[in-house]
Chains A and B, each alone.
Chain A
Amino acid sequence: MNSIDNTMTEGNGSQLRFVRRAMVPERARPLAVDVIGAIWRRLFGGVFNTMLTLVSAFILVALVWPTFRFMIWDAVWDGASRVDCLEETLKRPVGACWPFVQAKFGQFIYGFYPEAERWRPNLVFLIGALLLAPLLVPGAPLKRINALLFFVVFPIVSFFLLVGGRFGLVHVETRVWGGLLITLVISFTGIVASMPLGILLALGRRSPLPAVRVVSVAIIEFWRGVPLITVLFFATYMLPFFLPPHWNVDALLRVLIGVTLFSGAYLAEVIRGGLQAIPRGQFEAAAAMGMGYWKVMGLIIMPQALKYVIPGLVNSFIALFKDTTLVLIVSIFDLLGQVRTSFSDPNWATPVTLFTGFAFAGIIYFVISFAMSRYALAMERRLSTDHRAT
């Protein structure tokens, strides 16, 4: 150290004085060897760690390599029937039989929606995508109008487009709907319709009126306490008994009612979490301005709470999207249901058909849920940093 002005003296340390003459400049970290060494130590430091690494590497290869071979390397990419996907025909190991998916694609996406009318679900998908995209971007303009269009106008338009029977459109019975269409219809309708219910129940649970509170808690805990399947059975088999005998409620509508009640209870808890994040001062400040309960809630509290609720809302939607598969138990055939029924087609019965079908459905489910969960995560981070900044 050249900058020490008086040499270190042993003995009484309290005599030591030091004034820096020249600052030590910033140096680059002694790299190269160190980084590689660090990575090496992380993977192969110690016997146990090395074993872990080897076992993990083995698992990784044992999973990834066959998957790659099945999905891409050995896969059959075109063909017209089962014959094209047989080992006997191709004289090689056969992976995924993609022509099967191609042949069944319409069924997987639309169910038995009449082919001539499939432009209608397509149009619905398109409008939905166009409205959803700007809604997901945090900085996009016209949020309010956009949300209104997406959550209120879009479902109404979609209803008339899909069901038809009016405006010169042919009526298409919900019985023939299926595939991804029904998966999306149920999960989207479920979440949109359960929102008002969830808000009401959340407010009810925090209400100062004991009767309102008790009723809200009972409803929430009841629907959260039972499995979704029992709810679907309730809606399908029990609900018709509750309605006047001459009412003939569509099977899909019954399921939608069940799903709405179920997810409404879960949403209520998500929204309650958002309400709890609002500081008490907000209630007091609003009340001090002479606002009544509904004005305080509607103008001050809810708009703030809903912002906090977005990640939870997306997560609820993911859960519902995955749970929609359960409707096949009450004979409504969503994507998974259609894939399953397609297996019984003797035209495509090959040893690889099952895996191919599951691979296709799995990719769709995974891509949609994964993308949404990442989005929810990003929003959560954004909200927490926003929160810190204020």
Chain B
Amino acid sequence: MSDTAPRAPKRPRVDPLYDPRVRAAVYQVLLLLLLLWLGYQVAVNVRANLVAQNIATGFGFFGITAGFGINQSLIPYQEADTYGRAFVVGLLNTLLVSAIGIVFATILGFIIGIARLSPNWLVARIAGGYVELIRNLPLLFQIMFWYVAVLSPLPAVRQSIGIGFQPLVQRLADGLAWLNFDLAKAAAGLVQRFAVWIGPPEVFLNNRGLIVPEPYFHSGAGIVCAALLAGIVATIAMRIWARRRLDATGQTFPVFWASIGLVVGLPLAALVVLGFPVGLVQPELRGFNFVGGIRLIPEFVALVLALTTYTAAFIAEVVRAGILSVSRGQTEAAAALGLPRKRVLNLVVVPQAMRVITPPLTNQYLNLTKNSTLAAAIGYPDLFSVFAGSTLNITGQAIEIIAITMAVYLTISLVTSLLMGWYNARIQLAERA
């Protein structure tokens, strides 16, 4: 082979000082040497400092008793448990607050983003005002505001404030009564009776937190769950059938309403038939405390509230930009084909907008998760405050603890960006290959 293959042309000799390849190699070697030297210096300093301050090293502390309490935990935890367990408690709390924040922020963000594009001038302006106000105030300011100014001064348990539909109706009745003329008074009476008929509110707020109804599961709950599952399976089957029918006959089917009917209707029927084996225990004030219901600590409430409203403003901008990115030509072309407005949105605008929205939306989810570390400022026991706060305070092992904390968030970030990279590549592959 080598005899017949044409010989590579000989590179003319270049003065190594001016050979770009030599230069590139030298620069890179120098950079690596510099990094190595820096790393060595850091290692030397760390060792000297640790010896001087007599601080333990290694990850042995994971197995040691933590000795501090945590005021919210999804798994059983007490002071005698280890730092390792405290770490898990913190991680779960971070995931909890992030997950709930993400769900609410997405809902609120989409509503506001769409509202900003509303032809209704008032709605669009209010949505715009919300975004401007929220985006231009620091997140920590908002967390502090909710926690320090709104939640902390709330009345004690006995004077809990009820939240829900009933207090709103009651307010309306009071307002009408205040107007003080005959018709308004008559209306106030009616509304008042309606308020009484609704019954007491289900959610209470006091300086110990937010009390929400607690679900209960009696015998027969399994059947209700099975009904729910059956509803979901039936919905999937129905969707496949509807798709096939559309393909075969061109007939559309009200998939959305049918899905709701199946997913909600089936379990509801089971509930009624079985006499409500699943339901919510309404919290009730007895003496100095509530019976029934779950108490969400104020730190959690403040954090979820602030993260949700803050991130929603950014999501709203993402959604708005996504919808605006679908050019007018697209909607016009779809409309010119005779597609009804609803279908233009469903078939042309939303699929295109979602592709634009998804990457920055994921980024916002990531930001929300990272921002949940601000919990440290109000003492919500997330990963950061449990670990880099309490654990670091007691053990003093700053290097290990901060490194682990950073590693956790870094992992979440990198995994998310890898997933996004994959998503983008797939989209581009489908459209531009």
Contact = CB atoms under 8 A, between A and B. Distances in A.
B9 interface: no
B87 interface: no
Contact of B122 (A60, A233, A241): A60
A326 B120 CA distance: 39
5 contacts: A43-B121, A52-B120, A221-B413, A230-B402, A241-B398
A76 to B, nearest CB: 18
Contacts of A323: 138
A325 B377 CA distance: 10
A53 B122 contact: yes
A354 B377 CA distance: 17
Given A221-B414, A233-B402, A340-B148, A366 B49 contact: no
A130 interface: no
Interface stretch (A15-23, A105-113, A210-218): A210-218
Interface stretch (B40-48, B192-200, B263-271, B286-294): B40-48
B45 A245 contact: yes
A253 B290 CA distance: 50
B153 interface: yes
Interface of A: 39, 42-43, 49, 52-53, 56-57, 59-60, 208-212, 215, 221-222, 224-230, 233-234, 237-238, 240-245, 318, 322-326, 328-329, 336, 340, 343, 351, 354-355, 357-358, 361-362, 365-366, 369-370, 373
B133 A43 contact: no
B192 to A, nearest CB: 20
Interface of B: 24, 27-28, 31-32, 35, 42, 45-46, 48-50, 52, 118-123, 126, 132-133, 135-141, 144-145, 148-149, 153, 370-371, 373-374, 376-377, 384, 388, 392, 398-399, 402-403, 405-406, 409-410, 413-414, 417
Nearest to A356: B149
Contact of A234 (B119, B149, B402): B402
Nearest to B29: A211
Nearest to A247: B45
Contacts of B120: 42-43, 49, 52-53, 56
A69 to B, nearest CB: 16
A378 to B, nearest CB: 15
Contacts of A227: 370-371, 373, 384, 409
Contacts of B138: 322-325, 336, 365
B141 A225 contact: no
Contact of A322 (B126, B137, B373): B137
B324 to A, nearest CB: 15
A230 B409 contact: yes
Contacts, number: 156
Contacts of B417: 221, 225
B295 to A, nearest CB: 23
A242 B409 contact: no
B153 A336 contact: no
Contacts of A325: 138-141
B186 to A, nearest CB: 22
A230 B405 contact: yes
A209 B24 CA distance: 6
Contacts of B373: 227, 229-230
Contacts of B49: 240-241, 245
A52 B121 CA distance: 10
A106 to B, nearest CB: 21
Given A234-B402, A370-B132, A322 B139 contact: yes
A237 B398 contact: yes
Given A329-B376, A355-B149, A225 B122 contact: no
Contact of B48 (A60, A245, A336, A343): A245
A247 to B, nearest CB: 9
Given A52-B123, A228-B370, A241-B399, 6 more contacts: A225-B417, A227-B373, A323-B138, A336-B141, A358-B145, A358-B148
Nearest to B27: A209
Given A243-B45, A362-B141, A366-B137, A328 B377 contact: yes
Contacts of B46: 241-242
Contacts of A358: 141, 144-145, 148-149
B8 to A, nearest CB: 22
B392 A237 contact: yes
3 smallest CB-CB distances across A and B, nearest first, come from A225-B413, A211-B28, A322-B138
Output the residue of B24, B32, B144, B413 with the most chain A CB within 10 A. B144
A251 to B, nearest CB: 15
Contacts of A211: 28, 31-32
Nearest to A231: B406
A56 B406 contact: no
Contacts of A373: 135-136
B173 to A, nearest CB: 16
A346 to B, nearest CB: 16
A359 to B, nearest CB: 9
Contacts of A240: 49
A104 B370 CA distance: 33
Nearest to A50: B120
